């Protein structure tokens, strides 16, 4: 009988590649599924390893638990339980027990069979390592506390597959840490000791606080050199606590020694990990919305000058220009303001502004994984647009479904590429030679440079048909001037073909800016990645500001870094596509 009166199930222990479609195939065969949601990280959008499956009725949900609990999903056994909407109930620990010293051959199903005789088992899980092998402990949650108490009384201290197991109430991590902090102890850890201190001296130092049963100095492999730390074991807890209270951070022979409760390695690791996670969360919260990422810096722009550029917008709490191993600037840094309003004003007024000889890129600092996900999403959107059928015969032109034909493209090597009518759905944002996104073989006509605009031919719009071979008035490919003329794309006045600047391009429409920047980027990328140059160029055009792309053109190392980042995204996308 369902104690939760719900048709919603929690499905846990899922592989990160499991998506809603995979779960729908599995659960819809049991009964009509109302909805499925795989829970994902808010920033990276990666699966958190669990999902919620909602059925239309409780009977189908009950049957799903009976038939699919511990079933393999992508070679991993899943864990299914009733979804608990009340977070207070989940955190209360009601009905939860902990079991350890389990035989490695006992799996989730065997554990479930062992404990289901005491009452309704809501959840049953054995912790596993990276290889999927049991760690020797697990958790069982019952629907009632009475069933949990009965299981503890019956199984605790008994043998399971020849091993004596411990079964007790589940204690949360926070409660364990509090308990460990107040745990009674007699063994004291002492570090930062002078190397000359002997065990006799150590015992003498701590004898005033109580009866010392033993004092040990840890030494190196040869047994002669002190490692600078040791242990003092007292007869009673009060003496040990008194020693910690009075001797910790005290001075001994010019060194400040640390004195604290001796901990097992797993306790220290757990405590350090908790402190690190807490510090990381505090830093993320503290700097969210106020820390700016600034790049495309002049080589001679140091931290003092960078602070001088930005201090007009408010109080700067920190300013850092990143340096290479030789001490030279890497061309980027960080400026942290006191308030989000100050940071927003700095971004608005300084992004794209020329400082020294370069236009700055200024934006909110992001974590590396967040930037990576953003690039992945942009790439996925491009792929989706390419697969979409267009609304009419113009769909498939470079620039996306329904976009008008674009002019020919002249690359620095003299090669000219003309877009022609492509199959429906073969769109692409930045056209180019074979290999560009959405450009199947035959979508472009490549001709050698004929030199000059139109090669000296007359304007085909005026007078009689200038192409005598086209007597029947047959329709020619889009982008090819009748008569075989080669109309090169003319750069608007004010845009230099060399040394492009953000100011010179600012008055152009976005598409024209990307057009010219793409022409400059493509041959540079093709030098190292001839087969992927088109895709990488398109990704950069969609994910970067014009001033960023200008920096890539002028900075070979920055371009190589961007290429490597794009290749990683392409490989991950390809592997995900294969797995689907």
In the predicted structure, residue 464 carries a pLDDT above the cut 80: no
Residues 518 and 567 in one domain: yes
Residues 425 and 569 in one domain: yes
Residues 244 and 380 in one domain: no
Identify the domain boundary among 306, 336, 365: 365
Residues 152 and 26 in one domain: yes
Residues 344 and 393 in one domain: no
Give tens-digit pLDDT for 82-111: 887 666 556 666 788 999 989 888 888 888
Handedness of CA 151, 155, 157, 163 (dihedral sign): negative
Q: How confident is the model at residue 390 (pLDDT cuts 50, 70, 90)?
A: very low
Number of structural domains in the chain: 4
Residue 302 lies in a domain: yes
Print the domain residue range for 337: 289-365
In the predicted structure, residue 66 carries a pLDDT above the cut 80: yes
Residue 14 near residue 50, CB atoms below 8 Å: yes
Residue 560 lies in a domain: yes
Give me the chain's average pLDDT, please: 74
Q: Report residue 146 as tokens.
A: 């009475």
Residues 294 and 432 in one domain: no
Residue 282 lies in a domain: no
Residues 435 and 356 in one domain: no
Residue 384 lies in a domain: yes
- CATH number of 544's domain: 1.10.1900.10
CA distance 557 to 34: 52
Identify the domain boundary among 365, 400, 433: 365
Alpha carbon 542 to chain centroid, angstroms: 20
Give tens-digit pLDDT for 203-245: 999 999 999 999 999 988 777 788 889 999 998 989 999 999 9
Torsion of CA 547, 549, 554, 555, to 10 degrees: 110
Helices 533-543 and 510-528 cross at an angle (nearest 10°) of 140
Residues 206 and 350 in one domain: no
Q: What is the pLDDT, as a whole number, of residue 400?
A: 39
Residues 150 and 299 in one domain: no
Q: What is the pLDDT, as a whole number, of residue 419?
A: 41
Residue 151 lies in a domain: yes
Average pLDDT of span 133-139: 88
Residues 39 and 109 in one domain: yes
Residues 61 and 112 in one domain: yes
359-373, 385-399, 515-529: range with lowest mean pLDDT: 385-399
Q: What is the pLDDT, as a whole number, of residue 92?
A: 63
Residue 145 lies in a domain: yes
Give tens-digit pLDDT for 268-327: 777 777 777 777 666 665 666 788 999 999 888 899 999 999 999 999 999 999 988 888
Average pLDDT of span 255-261: 90
Integer angstrom CA distances of residue 438 from 21, 299, 387, 398, 502: 26, 39, 9, 8, 29
Give tens-digit pLDDT for 50-60: 999 999 999 99
Q: What is the pLDDT, as a whole number, of residue 470?
A: 43
Residue 168 lies in a domain: no
Q: What is the pLDDT, as a whole number, of residue 408?
A: 44
Q: How confident is the model at residue 562 (pLDDT cuts 50, 70, 90)?
A: confident
Residues 43 and 74 in one domain: yes
Residue 93 lies in a domain: yes
What is the DSSP annotation of 129-190?
-TTS-EEEEEEEEESSHHHHHHHHHHHTT-EETTEE-EEEE---HHHHHHHHHT----EEEE
Identify the domain boundary among 129, 160, 191: 160
Q: What is the pLDDT, as a whole number, of residue 258?
A: 92
What is the value of pTM for the model shown? Answer: 0.36
- CATH number of 41's domain: 3.30.70.330
Helices 546-554 and 556-579 cross at an angle (nearest 10°) of 120
In the predicted structure, residue 404 carries a pLDDT above the cut 60: no
Q: What is the pLDDT, as a whole number, of residue 378?
A: 66
């Amino acid at each position: 009988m369902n104690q939760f009166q719900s048709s919603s199930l929690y499905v846990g222990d899922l592989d990160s590649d499991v998506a809603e479609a995979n779960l729908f195939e599995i659960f819809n065969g049991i009964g009509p599924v109302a909805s499925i949601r795989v829970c994902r990280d808010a920033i990276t959008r990666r699966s958190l390893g669990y999902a919620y499956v909602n059925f239309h009725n409780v009977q189908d949900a009950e049957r799903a638990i009976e038939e699919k609990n511990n079933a393999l999903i992508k070679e991993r056994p899943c864990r299914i339980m009733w979804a608990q909407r009340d977070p207070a109930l989940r955190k209360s620990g009601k009905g939860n027990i902990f079991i350890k010293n389990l035989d490695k051959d006992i799996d989730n199903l065997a554990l479930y069979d062992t404990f289901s005789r005491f009452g309704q088992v809501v959840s049953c899980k054995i912790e596993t390592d990276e290889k999927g092998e049991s760690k020797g402990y697990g958790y069982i949650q019952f629907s009632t506390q009475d069933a949990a108490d009965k299981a503890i009384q019956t199984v605790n201290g008994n043998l399971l597959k020849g091993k004596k197991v411990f079964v007790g109430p589940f204690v949360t991590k926070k409660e364990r840490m509090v308990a460990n902090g107040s745990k009674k102890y007699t063994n004291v850890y002492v570090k930062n000791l002078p190397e000359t201190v002997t065990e006799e001296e150590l015992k003498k130092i701590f004898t005033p606080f109580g009866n010392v049963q033993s004092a040990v100095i840890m030494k190196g492999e040869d047994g002669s050199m002190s490692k600078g730390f040791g242990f003092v074991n007292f007869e009673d807890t009060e003496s040990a606590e008194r020693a910690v209270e009075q001797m910790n951070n005290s001075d001994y022979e010019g060194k400040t020694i640390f004195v604290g409760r001796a901990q097992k390695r797993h306790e220290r690791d757990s405590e350090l990990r908790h402190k690190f996670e807490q510090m990381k969360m505090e830093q993320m919260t503290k700097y969210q919305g106020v820390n700016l990422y600034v790049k495309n810096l002049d080589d001679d722009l140091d931290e003092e000058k960078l602070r001088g550029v930005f201090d007009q917008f408010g109080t700067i709490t920190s300013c850092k220009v990143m340096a290479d191993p030789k001490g030279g600037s890497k061309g980027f840094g960080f400026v942290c303001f006191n308030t989000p309003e100050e940071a927003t004003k700095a971004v608005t007024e300084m992004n794209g502004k020329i400082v020294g000889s370069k236009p700055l890129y200024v934006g909110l600092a992001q974590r590396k994984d967040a930037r990576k996900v953003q690039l992945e999403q942009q790439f996925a959107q491009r792929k989706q647009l390419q697969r979409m059928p267009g609304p009419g015969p113009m769909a498939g032109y470079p620039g996306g479904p329904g976009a008008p034909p674009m002019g020919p493209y002249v690359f620095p090597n003299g090669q000219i590429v003309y877009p022609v009518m492509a199959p429906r759905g073969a769109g692409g944002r930045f056209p180019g030679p074979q290999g560009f996104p959405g450009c199947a073989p035959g979508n472009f006509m490549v001709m050698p440079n004929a030199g000059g605009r139109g090669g000296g031919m007359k304007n085909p719009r005026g007078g009689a048909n200038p192409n005598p071979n086209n007597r029947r008035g047959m329709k020619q490919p889009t982008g090819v001037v009748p008569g075989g003329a080669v109309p090169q794309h003319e750069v608007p006045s004010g845009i230099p073909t060399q040394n492009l600047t953000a100011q010179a391009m600012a008055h152009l429409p976005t598409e024209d800016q990307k057009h010219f920047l793409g022409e400059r980027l493509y041959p540079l990328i093709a030098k190292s990645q001839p087969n992927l140059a088109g895709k990488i160029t398109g990704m950069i055009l969609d994910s970067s500001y014009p001033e960023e792309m200008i920096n890539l053109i002028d900075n070979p190392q920055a371009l190589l870094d961007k290429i490597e980042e794009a290749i990683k995204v392409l490989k991950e996308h390809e592997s995900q596509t294969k797995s689907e």
